[in-house]
Every structure is written in structure tokens, then in C-alpha cells.
Amino acid sequence: MNDIVERINKLKKEKNAIILAHSYQNIEIDLVADYVGDSLYLSRKAKDTNADIIVFAGVYFMAQTAKIISPEKKVLLPDINAGCLMADMINLHQTVDFKNQYPGLPVVCYINSTAEVKAECDICCTSSNAVEIVKSLNSKRVLFVPDANLGKWVESRLDSVEVITYNGNCPVHHNVTVSDIMHARKKYPDAKILIHPECKPEVSVLGDYVGSTSGIINYVKKSNEKRFVIVTEKGVAERLERDYPDKEFIIIKDNMLCDSMKLTTLEEILYALERERHEITLDDSVRELSSNCIERMLRVSK
Ligand code: 13P
Ligand code: SF4
């Protein structure tokens, strides 16, 4: 493993490349990553970097977002099969059909979506700024694609805004139930329960904290508590266990695993850098329109 890490680090220097890694990645990816975090943090890093090449250790929509924001850079996705089940639930035509059912309403697009879908929407959001973004529209009714759970969670956080949601979800988070949380509360009464808002809103409302992957990690960082139930993909709990050995982390259930996120390996990152594969490309008009959607979010969300 040391050999691969060394070769990756050497290539990064030679090619002026950086590696951005999502917190759900296999934990060894952190050995070569320049930045590890949530979707919003990584988007900002993609925008601000002076690197010529960005290797995105994450899923397709994340690498595509980096390319939208930084079109002059070469963006590489080490495993081309790393998709997102939620992003696959809505395409361009479904977005247009949904909009046509509610003419004139602003459309918020969760970042977990393709560039074509973003190009049809007014403003993007991530799990860490969704409430702020919907609020910024000053509209009594807002369309939200594709995550129904996040959209309804946002609605519950705002006074008198109706969030009309498309029927998408993340199967990893959608599978957590109210009884899973009640059971955890009973078994670990002293633990703080930290939940990602891609869970059903009736699940999220039971959490001590609801937030993005980085939000959950920061909550632990600031807390004096010793025990936490982590209600998101396993990668977050694994990183917390590594970084806070004096605290205890319980993963809500065994199957909190995003298969796509685990496809990327150190070997694939090495090949990606050596052969500059798989490069993300975008049609100019889609890039321009989807860029408006993301840039608007970055202006609103400081
Ligand atoms: P974050 O914005 O919290 O990183 O979430 C991304 C994601 O895909 C969660 O399933
Ligand atoms: Fe997509 Fe869910 Fe995986 Fe996140 S955890 S990348 S929303 S499938």
C-alpha cells in the first residue's frame, strides 16, 4: 500500500493534481486525499483550486459538478461505474414534466443529480444548505428535486413554505425506520443520535442533530459527549472511530453502505492519474445552464 501511496503522491506533484474525497469513500483513500468532506465543501475546493487536474474520489455527479464549476480543469473519476442511485431516479424529461405540472414555481435541485437536470433548475443545494437555499427564494411554494425526504425535511424547518417534492430518495438512507431510531434510543439512552437529512423526515425529527456528513463530523468534534449513534453511510462512522478513539460510535444498522462510493480504490486512483482517465466532459450549453444553478447556490450560501 505504501508503494501505491508514494506513486500517487509523486504523480500528483508532477501533474499538479489534487484529490478530492467524499467522507463515504473507503477510508484508505484519505491517505492520498488533499481534502475529505461533504458535497458542499468539495465543490468549493473544486472551484478554488489552482491544480490542473482534479481526481474526484466520489460518485459521478460530484465529479461532474467539479467540471461544471471548473471547466478549464481536467476532472477525472477513477471508477466510471461510480453512480448515485438517487441521481439516477430523475432525468431531463422527468424534470421538465414535473415542472410543467406546477408552472411558474422556482425549482431547487439537490446536488445529487445530473448536469442535465441541474440545467433545468433555478438553484442547487446540498444537504448542508438546503434550508438556507429554499428560504432565500422567498416563495410560498417551491419545487424540489429529486430527494423527497430532504425536501420534506426542509419544509418542516420553515414556517409556511410548501415544498413540493419529486419522488426520489437515497435507498441507503431511506431504509432507516422510526423503530430503528426508537430501538437505538432505548439501547443507548446516553448517546447522541446524529442523522443525515436524506433519511425520512419522520426519522430525522427524532435526531439530536440533523446535518450533512461534514455537519455530523463537526458535531462530534465540538461535543463533550462520549457516545454517538451515526445514521448515515458507514464511511462517516469509520472516520470518526479513527479520529476520536476515546469516543464510541454505533452505526444505526449494518447495511448503511453505498456500494458506488466503495468502488474507488487506491489502485484506480493511480491508474486515473497515470492514464488521465476517466475524464468528465460536458456539452457547452448544459455546462453553462447547470453552472448558473450551482453558482447561484454558492453566492447564497457563504
Ligand atoms: P453530503 O452533502 O452530506 O456529503 O451528502 C452527499 C450524499 O450523497 C449523501 O448520501
Ligand atoms: Fe447517492 Fe445515496 Fe450513495 Fe449518497 S449514499 S451517493 S445519495 S446512493
Pairing mode, strands 227-231 and 248-251: parallel
At 252, which amino acid appears? I
**In which order are the strands placed within the sheet that holds 227-231?**
209-210, 192-195, 227-231, 248-251
How far is 164 from 103, CA to CA, in rounded Å? 12
Q: Is the CB of 112 under 6 A from ligand 1?
A: yes
What pLDDT is recorded for position 150? 98
From ligand 2's centre to the CA of 121, what distance in Å?
A: 20
Give, for ligand 1, the residue of 24, 89, 257 to mutate: max count of ligand atoms closer than 8 Å to Cβ: 24
Average model confidence (pLDDT) across the chain: 97
Atom of ligand 2 nearest to the CA of 173: 2
How many C-beta neighbours within 10 Å does residue 190 have?
A: 8
> Residues of 21-58 as b/e, b for ≥16 C-beta within 10 angstroms?
bbbbbbeebbbbbeebbbbbbbbebbbebebebbbbbb
Atom of ligand 2 nearest to the CA of 61: 6
**Which residue's CA is the closest to the ligand 2 atom numbered 7?**
170
Atom of ligand 2 nearest to the CA of 171: 2
Q: What is the mean pLDDT of each run of 10 residues along the chain (302 residues)?
A: 94 98 98 97 96 98 98 98 98 98 98 98 98 98 98 97 98 98 98 98 98 97 98 98 98 97 98 98 97 96 82
Which CATH number does the domain 87-170 belong to among 3.30.70.260, 3.40.50.2000, 3.40.50.720, 3.40.50.10800?
3.40.50.10800
Give, for ligand 1, the residue of 109, 127, 129 to mutate: max count of ligand atoms closer than 8 Å to Cβ: 127
Torsion of CA 241, 42, 53, 60, to 10 degrees: 90
The end-to-end CA distance of the chain, in Å, is 38
**2-83+261-281 domain in CATH 1.10.10.10?**
no
CA distances to 21, 69, 96, 153, 227 from 302, in Å: 21, 16, 29, 21, 31
How far is 30 from 255, CA to CA, in rounded Å? 22
CA gyration radius for the chain? Answer: 19
Lining ligand 2 with CB less than 6 A are: 59, 84-86, 112, 170, 172, 198, 233, 258, 260-261
Q: Is the CB of 193 under 6 A from ligand 1?
A: no
What pLDDT is recorded for position 302? 73
Which pLDDT tens digit goes with each residue over 236-247?
A: 999 999 999 999
Atom of ligand 2 nearest to the CA of 22: 6
How far is 53 from 227, CA to CA, in rounded Å? 40
What pLDDT is recorded for position 1? 75
C-alpha cell at 230: 451515526
Q: Where are the domains of the chain?
A: 2-83+261-281, 87-170, 176-254
Q: Is 94 exposed, middle or buried (0-12, 13-18, 19+ CB in 10 A)?
A: middle
Would you say the C-alpha torsion 87, 124, 101, 287 has a positive or negative sign? negative
Atom of ligand 1 nearest to the CA of 211: 3
Global pTM?
0.97
Please determine whether the domains at 2-83+261-281 and 87-170 fall in the same fold group of CATH: yes
C-alpha cell at 176: 432507516
C-alpha cell at 121: 433548475
Which CATH number does the domain 176-254 belong to among 3.30.70.120, 3.40.30.10, 1.20.1560.10, 3.40.50.10800?
3.40.50.10800
